[in-house]
Structure 1
Amino acid sequence: MSGIVNTPEPPYYAVIFTSERTDGDNGYAEMADEMEKLASVQPGFLGVESAREGVGITVSYWESLEAIQKWKQNERHLLAQRKGISDWYLTYKTRICKVERDYGFEKTE
């Protein structure tokens, strides 16, 4: 997925994952692609946006707290979490937020 996610009318939830990586890939890119594909078929998943330059920021959007909890407990996601701690991250932080309002702009030609 790329670009800005087209989310539904609020409320919905955002999981903000910020991280600083270790040196080298060590299988990170392959697992990141797998996690994005796997998350995209989870019930309640709305989309994901990601950027990395120094600090990485990934925001995933979800219909409910229950959907987030089920994703957190997904077997492959649990493996990725363990690999993150052992191989890929110097530090990370996860924040879960309820989106109560959103707005935007899109240029049309």
Structure 2
Amino acid sequence: MQLHPDDSIAVIFCAQRTGSGEQDYQTAAAAMGALAAQQPGYLGEDHARSADGFGITVSYWRDDASAKAWRDHPEHARIREQGRDKWYSAYSLHVARVERAYDWQK
């Protein structure tokens, strides 16, 4: 976990994987993570996946304009379409403002 500034934007992506094309998915996910990290306003991400393929990725952005620019990035849009065609049976996306953030580590 990372500390994200107050008043940032969280994009919460919840998805059920199909289980097909695992290697292609892993390659695309790594490429998208690296590309997102290069975008202006990117603050980081958290993610988790269960054994049945349900996953949640939360990306954090300085402001809504930065989050929207990532949504509209051409390469991200191309990979998103592949995800709809191949890798996901369903997903939902939620955008929220982070008003407070706390971290703790032992």
The two structures have a TM-score, normalised by structure 2, of: 0.92
The residue that corresponds to 2:105 in the other structure is 106
Q: Does 1:35 align with 2:43?
A: no
Q: 1:106 deviation in Å? A: 2.1
- Measured on the aligned residues, the alpha-carbon RMSD in Å equals 1.1
Aligned 8 A contact 2:11 2:94 in 1: yes
Q: Deviating runs (4+, > 3 A) in structure 1?
A: none
The two structures have a TM-score, normalised by structure 1, of: 0.89
Size of the aligned set, in residue pairs, is 103
Bigger proportion of residues as helix: 2
Unaligned 5+ runs, structure 1: none
SS in 2 for 1:34: helix
SS in 2 for 1:84: helix
Partner AA of 2:45 in structure 1:
V
SS in 2 for 1:27: helix
Partner AA of 2:25 in structure 1:
Y
Q: Does 1:86 align with 2:85?
A: yes
The residue that corresponds to 1:15 in the other structure is 11
The whole-number CA distance in structure 2 between the counterparts of 1:63 and 1:83 is 27
